[in-house]
């Protein structure tokens, strides 16, 4: 279960992007790679949130949440039609 991956929505504090990065998506990718070499971003967002979605294990999600510039790592929710 620990190793199984789930989708997370990662909220980033875009204004805290380190000056060494040219573009915020590079910073997002670097933050992601620091906790998981294999994870890829499903989507990046800039209108609705500043951040991205990706698949992580619970452990990786916890590690990512403690990274600088990370506001929240929220598990994906499944919605239903009404």
Interface with another protein, residue 78, by CB under 8 A: yes
Q: Which string of DSSP letters, residue by residue, matches 15-61?
A: GG--TT-SSHHHHHHHHHHTT-SS--EEEEESSS-SEEEEEE-HHHH
- State the nearest-atom distance from the C-beta of 25 to another protein, in Å: 13
Token pair of 69 as six digits: 């510039």
Interface with another protein, residue 1, by CB under 8 A: no
What is the spatial distance between Cα 48 and Cα 73, in angstroms, rounded to a whole number? 15
- Binding to another protein by CB under 8 A, coded x per residue (else -) over 8-47, reads -x-x-xxx--------------------------xx-xxx
Binding positions for another protein, rule: CB under 8 A: 6-7, 9, 11, 13-15, 42-43, 45-50, 53, 55, 71-72, 74, 76-82
């Amino acid at each position: 279960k620990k190793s199984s991956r789930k989708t997370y929505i990662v909220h980033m504090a875009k204004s805290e992007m380190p000056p060494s990065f040219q573009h915020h998506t590079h910073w997002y990718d670097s933050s992601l790679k620091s906790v998981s070499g294999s994870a890829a971003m499903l989507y990046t967002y800039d209108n609705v949130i500043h951040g991205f979605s990706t698949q992580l294990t619970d452990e990786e999600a916890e590690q990512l949440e403690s990274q600088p510039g990370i506001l929240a790592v929220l598990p994906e929710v499944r919605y239903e039609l009404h």
